Amino acid sequence: MDKALLSKTAAAMVARGKGVLAADESSGTCEKRFKSVNVECTEENRRAYRGLLFTTPGAEQYISGVILFDETIRQKANDGTPFPAYLAAKGIIPGIKVDKGAMDLALCPGEKVTEGLDGLRARLAEYFKLGARFAKWRAVITIGEGIPSHACLYANAHALARYAALCQEASIVPMIEPEVLLDGDHSVERSEEVTEATLRATYAACAAHHVSVEHLILKTSMVVSGKDHARQAPVDEVAERTVRVLKRTVPAAQPGIVFLSGGQSDEAATAHLNAMAAMKSLPWPLTFSYSRALQNPALKTWRGEAKNAAAAQKAFHHRAHMNGLASMGKWKAELERQAA
């Protein structure tokens, strides 16, 4: 466990004005995304698309790190440089998704637990050699009738903590992602309650497994209304509730927090982040780790056509820039300036 390396990596991941690109979609998820723009989901097309994002000129101004998929960390840019080395040369930290996906939790209908701990120590050692300096593990918490159960919260918190401990042992910064899904018709009050319970369970498990919070990054969902609820909480309320939960549960010693977009629209994810980052006296930096909310415009512009690559990169650069501003609480002011 190289504490100096862990500290350096964690600090760089949440550097001012920068956030993390989540480009770790599984082949199945990637196929759904590609299908929406009529692109065949081949290995080469996945490489070309992700390479388009990684080689965007100036992206390193707003992107501190990239979460890669196992396939991608082994692929190369068009010039023959392995993607991890290409990113590192631009000052972007390579990361890696290491979980094996959410599976049905036994005796808990409608609930999931993330698997992938078997063999993880050896996989982390290989990923470190391939250039990864941080990792990600996603847990899925569903809000519904009588759920989440204590068993679900405990099982996922335990897995996140064991994963985080193994990462730190390997000198890889663990990004823990206990995502509370926005699917459902629950209220924003219920979302806040479940998010707090999820984070309390997660940090209790991390403490039990001797995980160092000084070398840990939280990737969390925002406290929003269920997408099917009649009342959608406004931006300022989402910000207030989310920060309140974080202050109650996340140690001040942690280097920073990144947010997932979780199915929000591109602009909603940016607006929510901006409102939170603009708050005073936050104990940690807040920034983004978005997938769709960063990639959507680029994917729709690219559509599998090499001739569209430059325009797609421009669209990606713009979203990265806007979220970089939001992470400093400056996005809304920039919009007002442009409108003036």
Q: What amino acid positions are annotated as catalytic residues?
A: 177, 219
Rg (CA), the chain: 19
* φ/ψ of residue 93, rounded to 5: -80, 125
Tell me the H-state helices in the chain: 3-13, 27-35, 43-54, 70-73, 83-89, 120-130, 150-169, 188-208, 235-249, 266-277, 292-302, 309-326, 331-339
Query: 87-115 in b/e burial notation, b at 16+ Cβ within 10 A?
Result: beeeebbbbbbbbeebeebeebeebbbbe
Tell me how far CA of residue 237 lies from CA of 232, 251, 322, 323, in angstroms. 10, 23, 21, 19
Tell me how far CA of residue 16 lies from CA of 129, 284, 324, in angstroms. 28, 11, 8
What span, in angstroms and rounded, lies between the C-alpha atoms of 83 and 72? 7
What span, in angstroms and rounded, lies between the C-alpha atoms of 318 and 334? 13
Rounding to the nearest 10 degrees, give the CA dihedral for residues 102, 168, 287, 21.
Answer: -60
- SS3 string, 104-143, reads ECCCCCCCEEECCCCCHHHHHHHHHHHCCCEEEEEEEECC
Residues near 20 by beta carbon (within 8 Å), at least 6 away in sequence: 13, 63, 64, 65, 66, 67, 95, 175, 258, 287, 288, 289
Contact 175, 215 (CB under 8 A): no
What span, in angstroms and rounded, lies between the C-alpha atoms of 225 and 236? 13
